[in-house]
């Protein structure tokens, strides 16, 4: 059965489906009797592939129907839906006409079909949006119009200290009490209060606390070692490991990328000439971690910006650089992450002209398989939609 749904001032004429005002490339097919839906957003050209996902009964119940995600802007989208209703399998086809949501200039320098289902969440000064590897905008939220009062009721994506309901487009500020809502994405989150770092789980129970010995506002990033008692803190140009008692175990970094000693109290750095300025991000690569060895990605934000993967041997206090990528542009800030789903390295940085570059590398390769420039954006991060609405 084909159903033509016309869009009029952010709402569909058909009473069974409506566009979401805060997220105009998403919609809800209004029928909470539907079960186990499989949704396919058909491509707008033969150069692209369908975008398919499943949604569970729990998610359908929360939204009051089937959430439709990943529509093309300014396009008559064809959506195929297969679902269970009254113990029978049914199929419908919807055509949803959307409006243009932004004039953002996006330049594709390279892409590859291996990353067909990869989306990138991009943050701008007044909006948040997602693009696919072809540069199509597939989700949008106008941050200026979002509500910080009414909280989302489903899966969330975390951006700094804010959470976005990807379907509704609603944004709210995270605090400790909100952590119970961070399900399926960040089951454990860090909270910072002055010099106290606390790790809490999805039930808002404290897993571990640390007291950091330096100024809290100089943090770049925090990473627990597989949520063990140890903590890694990216602090200026160094990576500092704290044990359960908040004593410093070791400090790695500085201009020479070496381990540096501390005094017997574990709180004072025995280094009079350390210049702590350049490491902007440090992320542990969890799947490679074995006893006495830690694999860490660092983003060096100095004049000659670069991304490196370090293998640290805690027993020998040695460092081996496994991979390095030199960035040619002059960089204002940036981050680097390991992404397990594609076994890849993701890099995003803002250049001196205010434009954002996002790159993704297959592990071990020195040329990015994905390379995209976005006009006047703040930062981006890969978004894995697989199983997100289940």
Q: Give pLDDT, residue 346.
A: 94
Write down the pTM of the prediction: 0.80
Q: Which of 273, 235, 231 is nearest to 249 (CA)?
A: 231
Burial 330-358 (b: 16+ CB within 10 A, else e): ebebbbbbbbeebebbbbbbbbeeebbbb
Q: Is domain 2-97 classified as CATH 2.60.40.3100?
A: yes
* Start-to-end CA span in the chain (Å): 25
Q: Give pLDDT, residue 156.
A: 67
- The number of angstroms, rounded, from the C-alpha of 282 to the middle of its chain's C-alpha atoms is 15
What are the φ and ψ backbone dihedral angles of 353, each rounded to 5 degrees?
-85, 0
Q: Which of 325, 329, 233 is nearest to 284 (CA)?
A: 233
Does residue 201 contact residue 186 with C-beta atoms inside 8 Å?
no
If the chain, 390 residues long, is cut into consecutive pieces of 10 residues, what is the mean pLDDT of each piece? 40 49 87 87 92 88 87 95 90 91 94 89 87 95 68 61 74 57 48 75 74 65 62 72 81 63 50 49 52 75 82 78 91 85 91 93 94 93 73
Biggest CA pair distance of the chain = 75
Does residue 126 contact residue 142 with C-beta atoms inside 8 Å?
yes
**Dist CA 244 CA 164 (whole Å):** 32
| In the chain, where the domains are located | 2-97, 106-141+218-383
DSSP string computed for 311-376: EEETTTTEEEEEEEEE--S-EEEEEEEEETTTTEEEEEEEETTS-EEEEEEETT-SS-SEEEEETT
| Residue 291 neighbours by CB under 8 Å, 6+ apart | none
The number of C-alpha atoms within 13 Å of 87 and in the hemisphere containing its C-beta is 0
Pairing of strands 51-55, 88-97: unpaired
């Amino acid at each position: 059965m084909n159903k033509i749904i016309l869009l009029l001032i952010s709402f569909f004429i058909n009473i069974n489906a409506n566009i979401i005002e805060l997220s105009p490339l998403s919609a809800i097919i209004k029928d909470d009797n539907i079960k186990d839906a499989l949704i396919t957003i058909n491509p707008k050209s033969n150069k692209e592939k369908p975008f398919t996902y499943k949604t569970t009964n729990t998610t359908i119940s929360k939204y009051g129907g089937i959430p439709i995600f990943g529509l093309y802007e300014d396009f008559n989208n064809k959506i195929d839906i297969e679902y269970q209703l009254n113990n029978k399998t049914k199929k419908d086809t919807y055509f949803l006409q959307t409006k243009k949501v932004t004039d953002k200039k996006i330049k594709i320098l390279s892409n590859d079909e291996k990353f067909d289902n990869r989306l990138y969440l991009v943050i701008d000064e007044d909006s948040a949006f997602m693009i696919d590897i072809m540069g199509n905008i597939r989700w949008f939220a106008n941050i200026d119009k979002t509500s910080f009062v009414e909280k989302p009721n489903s899966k969330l994506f975390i951006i700094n200290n804010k959470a976005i309901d990807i379907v509704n487009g609603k944004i709210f500020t995270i605090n400790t009490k909100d952590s119970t809502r961070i399900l399926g994405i960040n089951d454990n989150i860090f909270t910072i209060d002055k010099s106290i770092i606390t790790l809490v789980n999805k039930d808002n129970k404290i897993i571990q606390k640390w007291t950091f010995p330096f100024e809290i506002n100089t943090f770049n990033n925090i990473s627990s070692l597989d949520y063990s008692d140890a903590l890694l803190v990216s602090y200026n140009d160094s990576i500092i490991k704290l044990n359960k008692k908040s004593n410093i175990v070791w400090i790695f970094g500085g201009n020479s990328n070496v381990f540096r000693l501390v005094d017997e109290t574990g709180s004072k750095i025995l280094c009079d000439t350390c210049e702590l300025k350049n490491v902007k991000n440090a992320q542990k690569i969890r799947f490679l971690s074995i006893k006495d060895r830690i694999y860490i990605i660092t983003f060096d934000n100095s004049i000659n910006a670069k991304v490196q993967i370090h293998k640290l041997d805690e027993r020998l206090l040695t460092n081996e650089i496994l991979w390095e990528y030199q960035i040619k542009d002059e960089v204002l800030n940036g981050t680097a992450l390991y992404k397990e789903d594609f076994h890849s390295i993701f890099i995003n940085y803002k250049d001196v002209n205010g434009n954002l570059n996002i790159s993704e590398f297959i592990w071990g390769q020195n040329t990015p398989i994905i390379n995209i420039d976005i006009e006047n954006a703040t930062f981006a991060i890969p978004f894995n939609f697989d199983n997100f609405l289940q």
